[in-house]
Amino acid sequence: MQTNSSRRQLVKSGLALTIALVTGLGTLAGSTQAKAADNPYNLIDPTTISVGTMGDAKPYVFTDANGNFTGFDAELFRDVARRLGFKEEQVVFTG
């Protein structure tokens, strides 16, 4: 039963990620460049997709022996970004 539960969780995680990406990309595609008043902290950048993860939820996301993120979610994020023409940049968040 543990395998079915893990599979179910993996499917739910993948579905949630897909919905989030489609929603985010739809928003980007349907909007014009953000006005300064709409983006006072310069957090919106049409050339960047930001993804956050904890890195401790094996097999979804975890760090390998070299300290790099890997796992289902990490590989999915990388694949989507690559297909859309975005480069990967890892930013460590400590707080």
User: Where is mean pLDDT largest: 2-6, 14-18, 36-40, 74-78?
Assistant: 74-78
Running DSSP on this structure, what letter comes out for residue 88? Answer: P
E strand intervals along the chain: 56-57, 61-63, 69-70
- Residues 51-72: what's their mean pLDDT? 88
pLDDT of res. 45: 84
Number of helices followed by number of strands (H, E) in the chain: 2, 3
pLDDT digits (tens, 9 = 90+) for 3-14: 566 767 766 666
* pTM attached to this predicted model: 0.51
Contact 94, 81 (CB under 8 A): no
C-beta separation of 62 from 70 below 8 A: yes
Higher pLDDT, 29 or 42: 42
